[in-house]
Amino acid sequence: MSYRRVVVTGLRVISPVANNLKTFWDNLVHGKSGIGRITQFDASTYDCRIAGEVGDFNPAEYLRNPKDVRRTDRFTQFAMACSLVLQV
């Protein structure tokens, strides 16, 4: 059996706590919660109206083609944004 080597060259995070690594870590260290009232849809008919929603996420910053933004689900946009290489 042959094994392939994997090199992690960076870390990226998209979560209810923050969307960049530095802010995410600072918020975790200081005990800031990402839980709040649901704002992405009308939750008035549900018993639970709180959740951990990802805020301040603009998929157009990561996906250059507007068609890709329209055609992909939000969770897929998160995965793609985390996997893309940043050009510095």
Whole-number pLDDT of residue 84: 72
The pTM for the full model equals: 0.73
Give the C-alpha separation, 30 to 10, whole Å.
Answer: 23
Instruction: Give the tens place of pLDDT for each residue, 20-35.
Output: 889 999 999 999 999 9
Task: Identify which of 11, 19, 55 has the alpha carbon closest to the alpha carbon of residue 35.
Answer: 55
Convert the pLDDT of each residue in 36-82 to its tens digit: 999 999 999 999 999 999 988 999 988 889 999 999 999 999 988 88
Q: How far is CA 49 from the centre of its chain?
A: 20
Res 85: pLDDT: 57
